[in-house]
Amino acid sequence: MELTNERINDLNKKIKSLEAQKRTEQRKIREEKRKLEQRRFYIVGEMFVKHFPELAKIVPGNNKQNAENFSGFEAFLQIVSSDEKFTVLFQKFMEQTPKNGGDV
């Protein structure tokens, strides 16, 4: 009976260890995806500032300040993204862009 309890305890420890290992792996995958997404946002932001240098003059703040400070740019992007001519043109450019690294 004691041997069976020891085996059960050992198995429970192994299960907990495997569960912890799985959580660690999942956390690592989420972190890698988050870093890739942050890098993508940074690159896209650099491109926008390169072509619209006025954006570099806007000083980021808290969420409310950002909503106010970037409202003009947000309105511009909303107009551009809702215009079919621009979206079709954008899709054509994206089709020609190689996609290395896969999806997030």
Task: Please name the amino acid found at residue 98.
Answer: P
Res 101: pLDDT: 57
Q: Tell me, yes or no, whether 9 and 44 share the same domain.
A: yes
Whether residues 52 and 90 fall in one domain: no
Which residue type occupies 82?
A: S
Do 64 and 23 lie in a common domain?
no
79-98: pLDDT as tens digits = 999 999 999 998 988 888 88
Domain identity same for 2 and 51: yes
pTM: 0.65
Is pLDDT at 78 greater than 90 in this prediction? yes
Is residue 46 helix, strand or coil? helix
d(Cα 95, Cα 23) in Å, to the nearest integer?
37
Examine residue 104 and state whether it is found in any structural domain, yes or no: no
- Pair 82, 48 in one domain: no
pLDDT tens-place string over residues 15-70: 999 999 999 999 999 999 999 999 999 999 999 999 999 999 999 999 999 999 99
Q: Give the model's pLDDT for residue 29.
A: 98
Q: Domain residues for 86?
A: 58-98
Same domain, yes or no: 2 and 35: yes
